[in-house]
Structures are given as C-alpha cells and as structure tokens.
Amino acid sequence: MSNAVDVEKNFNSKLEKNDFVEPKDWMPENYRKHLIRQISQHAHSEIIGMLPEGNWISRAPSLRSKMVLLAKVQDEGGHGLYLYTAAETLGISRDELLGALHTGKAKYSSIFNYPTLTWADIGAVGWLVDGAAIMNQVMLQRTSYGPYSRAMIRICKEESFHQRQGYEIMCRLSFGTEAQKEMAQDALNRWWFPTMMMFGPPDKDSPNSEQAIKWRIKRETNDELRQKFVDRTVEQAEFLGLTIPDKNLKWNETKKGYDFSEPNWEEFYNVIKGNGPCNKERLEARNKAHSDGAWVREAAMAYAEKKKENILAA
C-alpha cells in the first residue's frame, strides 16, 4: 500500500502531466467535494433548462421547428443523465442530488430562472445561452476528472448544434416580417445581460476560481470567458441587424476586444438567492413532476422485486 504522501504526489503529477484523474484514484477531499458541487449543479441546470424551452414545444410555429425543439429538449435531458452518472462516480447517489435540487438546497444556472415569453426567446436561448454554455463546456472537455471530461465531450457536440439551431431561428425572425424582427430584438434585449451573468461574478469576487483552475476543474477565468463571448456575439448580432442593448459597447483597439457594461450583479445575487422571475415556478414544476411520478417509480420497483422473487422461487 502506498502511503498518504505517495498518493498525493501521484494526484499532483497527474494534474501536471494533464492526465485524467479516474474514480478509483485517490483525490483530495476538497477536490471531490468541489467536483460533486460543480457537476451536479451542471446536471441540475440541464434538467431545469428543459422547462423554459419545453414551454414552447406545443406552440412551435412550424413542423420543423417543433421537431428541432423537441429533440433539443430531449438532448438537454440526456446531458443531465450523463452528468448525474459522472457525479455518481464520486460516491453520491442521484437520489441525494435530486433531493438537494428539489428542496432548493442545490444551485443551478440562474439563467433558467428567466421566462421564455415569445417564440423568439427559443431562438435567443439557443443562440446566446447555449452559446455561452459552450464556452464554459469546451474548456471543461480538458478538465482533470476523467468521467466529467468524457461527459463534456459528448455534450459539447450537441450544444454546438443547439447554438446553430437557435441562431437559425434568430435569422428567420430578423430577416422576416416587421413583427418578427421586433420579437427578435425584444428577446435579445431581455436575454443579453442574464446571459453575461452565466460566466459568474467578476474574477475579483470569485473566490473559488483560483483553486479550481489549479485543479483543472476550470481552465479560464470568468472574465476571460465573458470577454470571448462578447467579442464573438457582437459580430453575430450585427449580421442579424440587431442591436446589443448596451450603450457602452465599443471596440477597444488596444485590447483587441470590446468594452462593455457589467451586468447588474445585484440582480444576479438576487436570482441566485431564489428571487428571480421564475425560481418559484421552476422548483415547483420539478417537484410536481417528481412527486407525480412517485407511484410510477414505486410500481417499477415493486414489479422488479416480484420478478426477482419469482426467479428465486422457480
């Protein structure tokens, strides 16, 4: 048996060599805890994210857009599944994780506490929210924990589809009728700042970041990612002929990037605390689905038990 110093050395050398840490490997307790928190928050976000988008499946305005949206929401559920499975390799059960979500103890991405009010929101969510998610997730493909990294590789492929599909909706609206254009601009106006918040608070106020980067659980800082996102999205908005709702948005030649306004961080912390426009609805919907499904899960369990007994008796 190797002693404590050896296993820690081994862990650190994996980080240095860009090797993966696997479930059976020794890892520091804080690393495990941080991962469980991060992966399960991500899983919860996928599941909660199904709600605002699922909100428009029945009203999608064409057969094609209905198929695309239904498939997308299903993808998000699949992402949730991969991620819960990855979290379970760290020694926690899905029931525990869901319990934390349903009681409001666990966090999920605050973006899903905003409502999808019009069809254009489905475009804006795909374009902006999935777009922002990809920036985070691409970085996580190279994260240090093996199961997490592998889940992210599968997820990223699908997320980039989602982003393209969202942008396609925005294109159709932006080059469509006057009413469609207005719908698109209104959606951008409402989703721009909440999306910027997805990268988390400014680096100076983000206490967990430094350690997470050392562990390769995170690879770029919140501010770096936010800057990248703005630089990329501005061009896409210009192509659509839409205006980013920020008067301070301006090209900065020295930094070769845009200057922009910070989102309202007070609002951000409020939404995280549970005071966003849809926090209550999202949690209620999750809890209702879970409790309405209780008898189904019980029936499946009872049936499996009976089958087992029959096999043993036979």
Partner 1 sequence: MTTQEALFKYTLRLSDTSLILAQRLSEWTSKGPFLEEDLALTNIALDILGQANSLLEYAAKTEGKGRSSDDLAFFRNEREFYNTLLVEQPNGDYAQTILRQCLIDNFDLLFYQELAKSKDETLAAIAAKSIKEITYHVRHTSSWVDRFGNGTEESHTRIQNALNELWRFTDELFEMNEVDAVLLKEKIAVDLQAIKPLWKKQVDAILEKANLKLPETVFMQTGSRNAKHTEHLGYILAEMQYLPRMHPTAKW
Query: Interface with partner 1 by CB under 8 A: which residues?
Result: 47, 50-51, 54, 57-59, 61-67, 70-71, 73-74, 77-78, 80-81, 84, 119, 169, 172, 176-177, 179-180, 285, 288-289, 292-300, 302-303, 306
Can residue 162 be called a binding residue for Fe ion (CB under 5 A)?
yes
Can residue 246 be called a binding residue for Fe ion (CB under 5 A)?
no
For helices 146-174 and 131-140, the axis angle rounded to 10 degrees is: 160
Can residue 88 be called a binding residue for Fe ion (CB under 5 A)?
no
Can residue 159 be called a binding residue for Fe ion (CB under 5 A)?
yes
Q: How far apart are CA 83 and CA 43, in angstroms?
A: 5
Q: What are the beta bridge partners of residue 258?
A: 251
Q: How far apart are CA 78 and CA 154, in angstroms?
A: 10
Closest contact distance (angstroms) between CB of 245 and Fe ion is 23
Q: How far apart are CA 113 and CA 63, in angstroms?
A: 28
Q: How far apart are CA 166 and CA 6, in angstroms?
A: 49
Q: From the list Fe ion, partner 1, none, which binds 130 (C-beta under 5 to 8 Å, kind-based)?
A: Fe ion
Closest contact distance (angstroms) between CB of 62 and partner 1 is 4
Can residue 130 be called a binding residue for Fe ion (CB under 5 A)?
yes
Q: How far apart are CA 78 and CA 183, in angstroms?
A: 30
Can residue 53 be called a binding residue for Fe ion (CB under 5 A)?
no
E-state strands within 181-285: 250-252, 257-259
Contacts of 30 (CB under 8 A, 6+ apart): 211
Can residue 76 be called a binding residue for Fe ion (CB under 5 A)?
yes
Q: From the list Fe ion, partner 1, none, which binds 245 (C-beta under 5 to 8 Å, kind-based)?
A: none
| Tokens encoding 167 | 């942008």
Closest contact distance (angstroms) between CB of 75 and Fe ion is 6
Q: From the list partner 1, Fe ion, none, which binds 70 (C-beta under 5 to 8 Å, kind-based)?
A: partner 1
